[in-house]
């Protein structure tokens, strides 16, 4: 019998006033219900906001080192439950165990990182024009943070939003993605055990149309942080800014890897395969376009096809690549492959659902390589949240750079080259918030800023590192005359 999970409001585990729940299914075995969660209402969300508002002043006045101690203890508690949380993540979201374990470790590291940062928050002393005056700045929390997080990194992304918000002295409410909310509730349990005061952090599961909308538009919330699709993110941005809130949105990507004629095709294919097929392609930074010089194109394609066909597909607990998270995501991926075929692309590898005992049930799709793709084809322009790499042939570096930039997104981009001049030109001219040389488009350090250009981001505030803290603080200038 699946366990029914509750919301967490004002330090207590409570059921929704709707009396309704929703099921989370195992994407590797959709007949298996992993857990039941609250199908919450707008009133449930309003109660959570009210609790955060009531708790905010006390938390803001808690010394930074004490806030940091609680965050550090929460991270340590998560570390003690790492194997359990890895299994929850695999069973709800579907990714392979090594990937899930890495993501859980990322969340642990984030809590420990921002635990230290909580002690460093302060301001700067400046020289005053007049005598007998101390002139300085101080950083203060903005207020109540509304966090709306996606299913594809269901513990890492909530951690990198929540930890800096709490470190800076904000209270917070969160609506985790309905496809995989279990690990957010585990974070909540860890914070509760660590002694986080009641009301400082509240979790409500349910639809974005009720819970998310209330968090975004409520007079009680002051900042909104959203990660998800471009269409929804743009609506969130409009709603939040119309309500006068500080907002950051991180959205989609159509991330290129440019392979130059000086690159080793085998090494380049390995980089693209890791970035394109890892996490079943369900990452906003996944490589979905390989822009390849004509001199190495054929050899690169052969190597990439070999890499795709060698991937072991099946349930994430014991296979290399797990399923897509839902039937809708699988259907969308297969539809994009069909559109690519119709527009003239060649399916060089994959292109459908795999066969075999391990994949008889579940939302599995083959790692897919598409060749003969033109830069204006649908598959080269629109985000495909699945393990699909479109290979585009170019005649020189300048054409490759143009193709890499010629999309409405600008999240992550990489170049594979042995030419230092080309690498430097790519760094200078790539229209992306994250640029990598001889490395996959996926993978982020936790202490440097993350965010995109163009339609990938609101381009307002960055996440992670010191910049992540900046979003959750506001600066006050003080003239102290004595």
CA angle 291/341/302 to nearest 5° reads: 45
Residue 1 has pLDDT above 90, yes or no: no
Active-site choice (146, 284, 304, 373): 284
Look at domain 3-251+457-481 and name its CATH class. Answer: alpha beta
Give the C-alpha distances (Å, rounded to integers) separating 246 from 95, 380, 395. Answer: 33, 33, 44
Res 230: pLDDT: 87
Tell me the two tokens of residue 4: 């029914």
Q: Is 135 left (phi over 0), alpha (psi -120 to 50) or beta?
A: beta
Choose the weakest-confidence range: 34-48, 229-243, 271-285, 379-393. Answer: 229-243
Residue 247 has pLDDT above 90, yes or no: yes
Res 122: pLDDT: 87
Res 2: pLDDT: 80
Per-residue confidence at 333, pLDDT binned at 50, 70, 90? very high
284 is known as an active-site residue: yes
Residue 389 has pLDDT above 90, yes or no: yes
pLDDT in tens, 155-199: 999 999 999 999 999 999 999 999 999 999 999 999 999 999 999
Res 21: pLDDT: 96
Res 3: pLDDT: 82
Per-residue confidence at 355, pLDDT binned at 50, 70, 90? very high
CA–CA separation, 266 and 259 (whole Å): 11
Residue 130 has pLDDT above 90, yes or no: no
Can you tell me the mean pLDDT for 202-226? 96
Per-residue confidence at 482, pLDDT binned at 50, 70, 90? confident
Res 426: pLDDT: 98
Chain-centroid distance of CA 55 in Å reads: 28
SS3 208: helix
Q: Burial letters for 93-121: b for 16+ Cβ neighbours within 10 Å, e otherwise?
A: bbbbbebbbebbbbbbbbbbbbbebbeeb
CATH 3.40.309.10 placement within the chain: 255-437
Structure pTM?
A: 0.95
DSSP strand pairing (346-349 vs 368-371): antiparallel
Burial class (CB in 10 A: 0-12, 13-18, 19+), 384: buried
pLDDT in tens, 356-373: 999 999 999 999 999 999
pLDDT in tens, 267-301: 999 999 999 999 999 999 999 999 999 999 999 99
CATH 3.40.605.10 placement within the chain: 3-251+457-481
Residue range 255-437 in CATH 3.60.21.10: no
58 membership: H or E segment, kind and range: helix 42-60
Q: Are 112 and 45 in contact (CB under 8 A)?
A: no
Can you tell me the mean pLDDT for 398-422? 97
Res 368: pLDDT: 98
For a pLDDT cut of 90, what percent of the chain falls above it?
96
Per-residue confidence at 34, pLDDT binned at 50, 70, 90? very high
Q: Are 344 and 385 in contact (CB under 8 A)?
A: no
Res 166: pLDDT: 98
CA–CA separation, 52 and 14 (whole Å): 15
Q: What integer best gives the mean pLDDT of the chain?
A: 96
Residue 262 has pLDDT above 90, yes or no: yes
Res 258: pLDDT: 98
């Amino acid at each position: 019998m699946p366990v029914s999970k509750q919301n967490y409001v004002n330090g207590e585990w409570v059921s929704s006033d709707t009396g309704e729940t929703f099921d989370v299914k195992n994407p590797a075995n959709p007949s298996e219900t992993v857990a039941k969660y609250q199908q919450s209402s707008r009133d449930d969300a309003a109660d959570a906001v009210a609790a955060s508002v009531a708790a905010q002043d006390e938390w803001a006045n808690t010394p930074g080192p004490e806030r940091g101690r609680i965050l550090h203890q929460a991270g340590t508690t998560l570390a003690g439950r790492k194997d359990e949380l890895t299994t929850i993540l695999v069973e709800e979201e579907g990714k392979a165990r090594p990937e899930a374990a890495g993501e859980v470790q990322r969340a642990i590291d984030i809590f420990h990182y921002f635990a230290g940062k909580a002690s460093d928050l302060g301001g700067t002393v400046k020289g005053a024009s007049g005598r007998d005056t101390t002139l300085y700045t101080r950083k203060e929390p903005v207020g109540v943070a509304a966090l709306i997080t996606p299913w594809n990194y269901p513990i890492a992304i909530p951690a990198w939003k929540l930890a800096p918000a709490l470190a800076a002295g904000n209270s917070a409410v969160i609506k985790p993605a309905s496809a995989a909310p279990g690990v957010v509730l585990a974070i909540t349990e860890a914070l509760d055990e660590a002694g986080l005061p009641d009301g400082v952090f509240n979790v409500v599961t349910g639809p974005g149309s009720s819970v998310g909308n209330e968090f975004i538009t409520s007079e009680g919330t002051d900042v909104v942080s959203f990660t998800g699709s471009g269409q929804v993110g743009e609506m969130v941005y409009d709603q939040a800014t119309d309500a006068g809130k500080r907002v950051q949105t991180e959205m989609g990507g159509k991330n290129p890897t440019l392979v130059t004629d000086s690159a080793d095709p085998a090494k380049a294919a390995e980089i693209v395969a890791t970035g394109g097929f890892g996490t079943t392609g369900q990452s906003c930074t996944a490589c979905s376009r390989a822009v390849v010089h004509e001199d190495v194109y054929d050899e690169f394609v052969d190597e990439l096809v070999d890499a795709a066909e060698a991937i072991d597909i099946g349930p994430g607990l014991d296979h290399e690549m797990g399923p897509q998270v839902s039937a809708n995501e699988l259907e969308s991926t297969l539809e994009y492959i069909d559109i690519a075929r119709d527009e003239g692309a060649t399916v060089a590898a994959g292109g459908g659902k795999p066969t075999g005992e391990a994949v008889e049930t579940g939302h599995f799709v083959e790692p897919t390589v598409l060749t003969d793709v033109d830069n204006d084809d649908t598959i080269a322009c629109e985000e495909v949240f699945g393990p699909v790499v479109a290979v585009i042939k170019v005649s020189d570096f300048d054409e490759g750079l143009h193709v890499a930039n010629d999309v409405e997104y600008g999240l992550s981009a990489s170049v594979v080259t042995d030419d230092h001049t080309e690498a430097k030109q790519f760094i200078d001219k790539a229209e992306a918030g994250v640029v990598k040389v001889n490395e996959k488009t996926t993978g982020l350090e936790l202490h440097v800023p993350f965010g995109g250009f163009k339609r990938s981001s609101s381009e307002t505030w960055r996440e992670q590192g010191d910049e992540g803290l900046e979003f959750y603080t506001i600066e006050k200038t003080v003239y102290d005359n004595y």
